[in-house]
Amino acid sequence: MKRTLAPFLFWILSVPCLGQMTNDTVALAKIYEEVLLHGTCHQDLRHLCKNIGHRVAGSASAQKAIEWGKQRLLELGADTSYLMPVEVPKWSRGKTEYGTIHFKNGEQVQIPIAALGGSVASSLRGQVLMVSSVSALEKMDTKELAGKIVFINKPLDAALINTGAAYGNGGETRWRGPKLAESKGAIGCLTRSLTLADDQFPHTGAMEATGIPAAALSAYHSQWLSDQIKDEKDFVFEYHLECENGGRITQANVIGEIKGSVYPNEIITIGGHLDSWDIGEGAHDDGTGCVQSMEVIRTLKALGYQPKRTIRVVLFINEEFGNDGGITYAKKSVENGDRHLAAIESDGGGFSPRGFSTQAPDLRYEQWLKWLPLFEPYNLHTFKRGWSGVDIGPLKNDEVALFALNVDNQRYFDYHHTANDVFENVNKRELQLGAASMASLVYLIDQHFSPLP
Ligand SMILES: [Zn+2]
């Protein structure tokens, strides 16, 4: 079926003069059908999560993923694939981590904690001082904090419908809290996880470098610890963290391309980040974005579509711990004289697509808005200005149109940066719909954006 349709499709997809909307409608229908019936992104995600596993930058498993990605892109139909060297940090969590509450009556309770990225190892004990937020901590005197473990117990704002906005607003607890605590004389920092879920998974993530141990507590244990403090229970907290900082090493962004047939020097980049945190499997964050981007290449190839522009998949390394892959890619693009027509990132989890947000120049933006009706049959309704992505962000200039795939993100921060971000929690169909949406946007940009000046 697929084979016999290919010549017909090639004709349909290459003759825009028959009435743009009709042709585009047919093209998008074929793209979604191809991904939903023949897509391989779900099995690629299974391989990445189960055969390779989590992929913190600098780790052996991240290196394994890089080699797999380079080979897999060729199998899926890229003309070429290659590696772009990137310097990344090498930090490891160690084998075990937990916190122990030692009550004065001799009772001990062990609770799960997750070291924040870059934390030092520790077995220190101390009294816990709870604060309601980073702003409250800022106002406190060093005398109150000296020798204490600061516990920043600020929940995310549940009233915000966009959970990404709640995460963004609450992010300073994790990002700034530990270093600020150190500057005030604290000996350790505990942070409430950045999540709206009420479960027992602590969420790790990056923070400003600090010399004191820093770890997250789950929402459930944050509440529990807060109750102990409010009940004036007498206890000390003990960290068990085995982290090691190992300097910097060279890994790579993985790049796969289909060369453009008319404007080979105009690039449409699609990507996600190949690295993940080192707990869970990096399934939603961001194995999803990687396999969806790879699916775009497979789909265009399977449909016999020859793009006018160069379609480039980039699997970025180390988004989580300094955005080294994104920064290096943008810098190399300038050095190589690469010109980007557009870049699309998927890094919001493999949930049902709802639309795109863009940082596009005005003319491109106006043109793109007119494509919204083409996506409505697939339940994409949100075309708006907004954030595009961490990895593609450094590409921003006057001519490139940056896009993020927007998904239904209500459950994203249940899994994000936890041991529960595993393959089983990604829905095959939702993942595929996201990939088809990205492939459709690539097709429309390739067909209809005017050439770069
Ligand atoms: Zn991510």
DSSP conformation letters of 131-164: ES-HHHHHTS-HHHHTT-EEEE-----TT-S-HH
Structure tokens belonging to residue 382: 């949100």
269-309 tens-digit pLDDT: 999 999 999 999 999 999 999 999 999 999 999 999 999 99
What is the average per-residue pLDDT within 420-435? 98
**How high is the pLDDT of residue 3?**
47
Distance 321 CA to ligand 1 centre (A): 10
274 alpha carbon to ligand 1 midpoint, in Å?
Answer: 9
Cα–ligand 1 centroid distance for 348 (angstroms): 7
pLDDT number for residue 1? 40
Of the pLDDT bands very low, low, confident and very high (cuts 50, 70, 90), residue 44 is very high
Mean pLDDT across 371-397: 97
**Residue 16: what pLDDT?**
42
Q: How confident is the model at residue 124 (pLDDT cuts 50, 70, 90)?
A: very high
For 356-370, the pLDDT digits (tens) are 999 999 999 999 999
CA of 437 to the centre of ligand 1 (A): 19
Q: What's the CA-to-centroid distance between 290 and ligand 1, angstroms?
A: 10
pLDDT(45) > 80:
yes
In DSSP terms, 272 is beta-bridged to 315
**pLDDT given for residue 20 in this prediction:** 61
CB atoms within 10 A of CB 322: 17
Phi, then psi, of 429 in degrees rounded to 5: -70, -40
Determine the average pLDDT of the residues in 31-49. 98
**How remote is the CA of residue 320 from the centroid of ligand 1, in Å?**
7
C-beta atoms surrounding 233 within 10 Å: 14
Q: Is the pLDDT of residue 18 over 60?
A: no
- Ligand 1: centre distance to CA 420 (Å): 15
Position 60 scores a pLDDT of 97
The mean pLDDT value for 120-149 works out to: 97
Centre of ligand 1 from the C-alpha of residue 318, in Å: 10
Mean pLDDT value of segment 317-343: 97
Residue 83 CB: number of other CB atoms within 10 A? Answer: 16
What spacing in Å lies between the alpha carbon of 282 and ligand 1's midpoint? 9
Does 11 score more than 80 pLDDT?
no
Taking the centre of ligand 1 as the mean of its atom positions, its distance from the CA of residue 104, in whole angstroms, is: 42
pTM of the model: 0.94
CA of 21 relative to ligand 1 center, distance in Å = 34
Q: What number is the average pLDDT over the span 47-54?
A: 98
pLDDT at residue 122 is higher than 90 = yes
Give me the chain's average pLDDT, please.
Answer: 95
At 9, the pLDDT band (50, 70, 90 cuts) reads low
Q: Is the peptide bond before 391 cis (omega within 30 degrees of 0)?
A: no
For residue 2, the model assigns a pLDDT of 45
Which of 90, 124, 444, 148 minimizes the C-alpha distance to 296? Answer: 444
**Percent of the chain with pLDDT strictly greater than 70:** 95
Centre of ligand 1 to C-alpha 285, Å, is 4
With beta carbons less than 8 A apart as the criterion, state whether 247 and 387 touch: no
Give 447 or 15, the one with higher predicted confidence.
447
Residue 21 has pLDDT above 90, yes or no: no
CA of 287 to the centre of ligand 1 (A): 9
| 229: pLDDT strictly greater than 90 | yes
Q: How confident is the model at residue 22 (pLDDT cuts 50, 70, 90)?
A: confident
